[in-house]
Structure 1
């Protein structure tokens, strides 16, 4: 089977997060499976599609430094992308890809693991990440697009922990110092592991060899088609629109809180960070024992269906607080979402925890 291998020059953040959509459109229309590699020309903050920017990003710092905030179409957490990483995008026909996230990551990330092992590094796949002796060296995500499946990821060549920690929103500066230290403890890079950074051309050569060996495919060196480039540029311009960047924030402007407060005898506002397999952030406004508004965000991945989270939020809005479990389970049964990071049970438990908060108990 023949695949395309495309290596591009460095790109800005808006083009970084839209390249794979243009390629997925090409693959969906019967084009060849594609492995695309390139990297960012300057730092940017990359926010997951299900996250609220105000909760994740130190906007005061990023605006001062001119570091763009870019919302991608993929789930996962907020990451600071720098030229110190090597990014890859694997785009395949949906009918060739495993339907379970676990099997999908195993199939298409094993070649990347093998590239790292070829440098004598003890690399292993852990969920959707690749770790070296427990430290993350590669973060990955997946999404469906029409008749294509996209796996995106990176290999950390070098790390700028100071810059990364300053871009992320934290409660205090003391916490930021702690986070920077923790980042050094749970992230690693080829530079840290090897004492040098291998040339990108060498990494690309190894990637091609390992994909060919592992998947039984043959690469042809290729360029993006004119149609892909045209769509790519249009999508990148759309990603620059602040309505898109802050759409999750602006969807719930009244829910910008990280506390639980009783506003009066009938109204409470409550936020909860719930750790399932991934982090789920829930904020609710309860008025007269009903959900007046519900926000669900986090660093999880929803591969299908599109707009599942918005549908779930809207299904809970206006409902009696006593009906939350019935509604959640009905929506999961109806939509049958493919989610990596939390289950219907996790969500039910998180809402139970919120409704058991003293501030909420007083109004329900």
Structure 2
């Protein structure tokens, strides 16, 4: 099977997060599976599609330093993208991709693992991350787009822990210092492991060889088509608009809180961070013993169907603040829509809502 191999010059953040969408459109129209590789011109904060920016990003610092905040179409957590990354985007026809997320990551990330092992590193796949001696050196995420599947990821060449820690929202500066220390302990890079950064051309050559060997394919060096470039420019322009960047924030403007508070005898507002396989962040407003508004955010991945989280939020509005009724709605929607989610399941969501509904401030109004 023949694939396209495309290596591009460094791009800005808006072009990075839309490149694979333009390629997916090409694949949807019958184009070849594609491995796209490039890096970024300057740092930017990359927020997952299911995250609220105000909860994740230190906007005071990023504005002062003129570091763009970019929302991508993929799930996952907030990351700070720097020129110290080597980024890749794998776009394939749906029939060539396993439906199970774990099998999907194993199939398409094994070549990347093998490249790292070729440098003598003890690299392994752990969920959707690649680790070296237990430390993360590659983060990855996946999504469906029409009849194609996209897997986006990177290899960390070098790390700027100080910059990364300053871009992320934290409760205190002491916590920020701890986060920077923790990042140094659970993140690594080729520079840290090898003592030098291999040339990007060399890494590209190794990636091509590893993918060809593992998947039984043959690459042809290629470029984006004029149609892809036209769509790419249009999408990048759209992603630079504030209504997209703050889409999730603006969807729930009246429930921005990180605590639980009883507002009146009939109204309570509460936030909960719940650790499933991935982080679930639930913010809930109860009015007159019903769910008035709910935000479900976090660093999970929803591969299909598109818009499921927003649909579920809307479906839960107006539901009685009764755990059995809430549970029934969630189970019904999961059974009907059959979402493919990496990071939590229906029982995790029910458990998170059970925990938040049992908070004293909520209990006092229901």
TM-score by length of 1: 1.00
**CA deviation digits over 1:196-244, x for unaligned, max 9?**
0000000000000000000000000000000000000000000001000
Q: Write the mapping of 1:146-295 to structure 2, written as runs, cut at 5 A.
A: 146-295=146-295
Distance 1:265 1:134 in 2: 50
Distance 2:280 2:135 in 1: 23
Distance 2:23 2:210 in 1: 21
Distance 1:122 1:265 in 2: 58
Paired residue for 1:102?
Answer: 102
Compute the displacement of 1:81 (Å).
0.1
Compute the displacement of 1:140 (Å).
0.1
**CA deviation digits over 1:128-172, x for unaligned, max 9?**
000011110000000000010000000000000000000000000
SS of equivalent to 1:274: strand
Asked if residue 335 in structure 1 is aligned to residue 340 in structure 2, the reply is no
CA RMSD in angstroms comes to 0.4
Aligned length in residues:
364
Distance 1:149 1:362 in 2: 46
Q: Write the mapping of 1:353-364 to structure 2, written as runs, cut at 5 A.
A: 353-364=355-366
Paired residue for 2:354?
Answer: 352
Paired residue for 2:11?
Answer: 11
Compute the displacement of 1:303 (Å).
0.2
Compute the displacement of 1:96 (Å).
1.0
Structure 2 gap segments, 5+ residues each: none
Distance 2:105 2:288 in 1: 45
SS of equivalent to 2:26: helix
Asked if residue 324 in structure 1 is aligned to residue 347 in structure 2, the reply is no
**CA deviation digits over 1:302-333, x for unaligned, max 9?**
00001000110000001101111111111101
Runs of 4+ in 1 over 4 A off after TM superposition: none
Paired residue for 2:142?
Answer: 142
Distance 2:191 2:29 in 1: 40
**CA deviation digits over 1:37-78, x for unaligned, max 9?**
000000000000000000000000000000000000000000
Distance 1:288 1:133 in 2: 53
Paired residue for 1:296?
Answer: 296
Paired residue for 1:79?
Answer: 79
SS of equivalent to 2:144: strand
Distance 1:170 1:135 in 2: 22
SS of equivalent to 1:363: coil
SS of equivalent to 1:111: helix
Compute the displacement of 1:287 (Å).
0.6
Compute the displacement of 1:2 (Å).
0.4
Compute the displacement of 1:250 (Å).
0.3
SS of equivalent to 2:77: coil
Distance 2:13 2:107 in 1: 28
Structure 1 gap segments, 5+ residues each: none
Distance 2:329 2:244 in 1: 28
Distance 2:328 2:315 in 1: 11
